[in-house]
Structure 1
Amino acid sequence: MTVVIAFLANILVAIAKSVVAGLTGSASMLAEAAHSWADAGNEIFLLIADRRAGKKRDREHPLGYGRDAYIFSLFAAFGIFTVGAVVSVYHGIQSLAAPEAVEDYTLNYIVLAVAFVLEGFSLLQSIRQGRHTAARYGRGFFDYVVNGSNTTLRSVFFEDTAALIGLVIAATGIGLHQATGDPVWDALGSIAIGVLLGGVALLLISRNRRYLLGAQPSEQFRDRMGRALLAHPEIERVTSLYLEFSGPGKLFLVAAVDLVGDEAEHGVAERLRRLEGELENGEELIGKAVLTLSVADESSLAF
């Protein structure tokens, strides 16, 4: 729902900015129009990311399709960089070389104000969702948004935040142009918006790359899972525990455990498979669990 709201807001804002940029000739407004069109296109990638990540695992993808979310979010981040950042900086440099006067300042301010309200509403929606989810996992909001596995929430939050900052930059550039009569300020506003978008894009690219390479949860969460395993009445000790994100909110768990008792091999195998199923069905973050037997001389892990 957050992505849909952001998409609709960006479409409306992009159309309004494009019309006003054409009517007034403002470089900052044109940069903002490029920014909004880039964001609108990126929301499509994010919608695909959510849809693909929700597919159930199959024989070809035993860990599921969760990493598709990071792939399509990576496309969206590249879109911010190429369409938003590069176009804004390029047009700003062009405007410095051949500055043009703004035709109608009032029209620019009205559109920027309306855009601020729409983008602000979208940002509040992402903050509300982020706080709710972060509280469930016992994490701080900003830590969860920046470092958490929910890539679509992170993308929407930073896109909307950059949009609001960009609107302030655009208004400042246009205002200084109006106050001084010098169109250079408007051009510099366009370049500043491009630099801002480039920074956001690099952050998002870095986060998605991290999860595509196989990010692990925090030590606190690892200890929590270790204690959960040891609390099971059939598990005596844990000698190895590996956790890796296989998608937003989904983990791949591999653990070596020592079971209570000394059962025959076929019985042990059945117990391990049953315990794997219990982990996958009982812990919402575990997408796939694989349990093996500990060797007698292996040291037990402390959690």
Structure 2
Amino acid sequence: MNFTVVIALLANALVALAKSAAAMFTGSASMVAEAAHSWADAGNEVFLLVADRRSRRHPDHSHPLGYGREAYVWSMFAALGLFVAGAAVSITHGVQELIDPGEASDFLVAYVVLGVAFVLEGVSFVQAFRQVGREASAIDRELLEHALHTSDPTLRAVFAEDAAALLGIVIAGGGIVLHQVTGSPTPDAIGSILVGVLLAVVAIVLIDRNRRFLVGMEASPMLLDAARTRLAAMAGVSSVGYLHMEFVGPRRVYLVASVDLVGDDVESSVADHLRMLESELETDEAIVEAVLTVSRPGQPPNPDLDAI
């Protein structure tokens, strides 16, 4: 089970309960938006746990490349939930408060709840931040770049949602402060709308990233270069021609390549040699399946396929 997602689920569930109680007690529009935000996040973590669990199933006869892409399907549901249950509710309630403002009171309760929520959300965010940072350092990539481009949709979602949660608390707190200072409910309502807009932006980014991986995302140039170097260094390989690596799940790729073998062996020996190389590549847990063919000597890497 993904520890980062579990931490986020527990934090969001506790925060959602506290914010809901505070929203009913104070009547603050920004607090209602924050409650909707946290309930959406808590529900999304359930989707992410399902995504993590189902994507780990081993390949079988009906799914020879495994079930890794299920992670993107369930993460897409989570992102849609964030958009509908979080963004739409927050924006709608904010607009309603602008048109027909209600009474708000007991602002101290709101401040206490937001403070506690910030601490709990911060704990979850630190956990996600550390994991993203470790992975980014391992492959020499910027932290934010890795958070956006990682093939693990659950890690990206938790990182993005927790970051949005912290920023949303700041926005809501500002709206409530201005409401109390000015006596006008308008800043509070605008705070609710801004929280909704923030959630909509995060949801759209997450939906787009999951869409890209669902339709087939090729590995980064860095991973392709590493794979080409490894192939070229394998026993009996003279050079590498065509190379394609496509993500079929979190940290899982399908590799297709053509190689020029040393010597001029008979067809049966070449077939055995290629199968041996495929088996060696598949010992890497990141490679679900490897398919190698023979290329012509001197064939350029990834020839132009535009004429097909």
TM-score range, shorter chain: over 0.9
Q: Which runs of 5+ in 2 are unaligned?
A: 304-308
State whether residues 238 and 301 of structure 1, in contact with CA within 8 Å, keep that contact through their aligned partners in structure 2: no
Deviates more, 1:109-118 or 1:232-241: 232-241
> Match of 1:8?
10
1:285 paired with 2:291, answer no
State whether residues 243 and 301 of structure 2, in contact with CA within 8 Å, keep that contact through their aligned partners in structure 1: no
Q: Quote the offset at 1:216 in angstroms.
A: 1.3
Which amino acid is 2:101 matched to? P
> Match of 1:107?
109
Q: Quote the offset at 1:220 in angstroms.
A: 2.2
Q: Which runs of 5+ in 1 are unaligned?
A: none
The number of aligned residues is 301
State whether residues 234 and 277 of structure 2, in contact with CA within 8 Å, keep that contact through their aligned partners in structure 1: no
State whether residues 123 and 161 of structure 1, in contact with CA within 8 Å, keep that contact through their aligned partners in structure 2: yes
Matches within 5 A, 1:180-199: 180-199=182-201
Matches within 5 A, 1:19-168: 19-168=21-170
> Match of 1:294?
295
- TM-score normalised by structure 2 residue count: 0.95
State whether residues 89 and 194 of structure 1, in contact with CA within 8 Å, keep that contact through their aligned partners in structure 2: yes
Deviates more, 1:256-265 or 1:144-153: 256-265
> Match of 1:214?
216
> Alignment RMSD, CA only?
1.4
Q: Quote the offset at 1:301 in angstroms.
A: 6.8
Which amino acid is 1:131 matched to? G
Percent of matched pairs sharing the same residue? 53
State whether residues 177 and 185 of structure 1, in contact with CA within 8 Å, keep that contact through their aligned partners in structure 2: yes
Find the residue that maps to 1:71 and give its secondary structure.
helix
Tell me: CA distance 1:300–1:21, structure 2 relative to 1, closer, same or farther (3 Å).
closer
- TM-score normalised by structure 1 residue count: 0.96
Which amino acid is 1:285 matched to? A
Which of residues 160, 174, 177 is equivalent to 1:175? 177
- Write the deviation string for residues 192-239 of structure 1: whole angstroms up to 9, x where unpaired: 100000000000011111111111122122112111111112111111
State whether residues 237 and 262 of structure 2, in contact with CA within 8 Å, keep that contact through their aligned partners in structure 1: yes
| Alpha-carbon distance in structure 2 between the residues aligned to 1:79 and 1:91 | 17
